[in-house]
Chain A
């Protein structure tokens, strides 16, 4: 099938080729524009830090660790004024460890996958997945009686264009 004549396109069949060519151009331009302007502002690290600070304030009371936090019926999210529905929607995580006592104490809540992903991230075992993995914040503090308090928080909220 002849695609061009001296005057340009001349067959209806060729319209498909015409639109195909323009679709390729459109995709190319869109990809270039998206690549140039499509930045994403990442505040997940800051969110993880704020979350960590809120939890820390509940745990550390007058220079001692508030051991009530590790009791089964203690509602840490409520005490730290964190919305449970938002926290449990899969974008957040916390894990608190109190090490070095008669027995280690660990509590966690939120998306459990983030515990593993944060461990990988904090040990620098993963260097490529920061866009997929959450951003984590770890606070380590020596506390009373030689114990160590570790508060790990993570956020992976991406936001949405509506």
Chain B
């Protein structure tokens, strides 16, 4: 029996390695989680979703609204977000903002309008067109 074994035959060296790996894994996960939260992506998603919902609530049919050069594109690029960083569900009156690979943040707008939106990443531009409710079916530009 070498020094790494105890009387019961349990290999304490292996045990210690397993525990060290577990500890490393634990702190690694904690660090990753804190870093992710610390980037405040979830907060930005919430802020932008609520801001856009408020803008839609205040808008009148016929209005065209442009968001240009704002931080949303940089945050989305830094966090591997999909292309549809902002999307609308006109049936449920919901705006969704996704700035990471997660599912994003939903907020409802009460203005009875439909929204046609277009995202142009090259120009860092999001355009929103407010139209009378139910005029829009499948004409949203992806």
Contact = CB atoms under 8 A, between A and B. Distances in A.
Interface of A: 5, 7-10, 18, 22, 26, 29-30, 33-34, 37, 39-41, 43, 46-47, 50-51, 77-78, 81-87, 89, 91-92, 157, 159-162
Interface size on B, as a range, is: 35 or more
Interface in B41-68: 42-43, 45-47, 49-51, 53-54, 57-58, 61
Contacts of A40: 46
B6 interface: yes
Interface string B5-41: 0100010100110010010001000100110011010
6 contacts: A39-B43, A43-B50, A83-B109, A159-B106, A160-B107, A161-B104
Interface of B: 6, 10, 12, 15-16, 19, 22, 26, 30, 33-34, 37-38, 40, 42-43, 45-47, 49-51, 53-54, 57-58, 61, 93, 96, 103-113, 133
Contact of B40 (A37, A84, A85): A37
A33 B16 contact: no
B34 A29 contact: yes
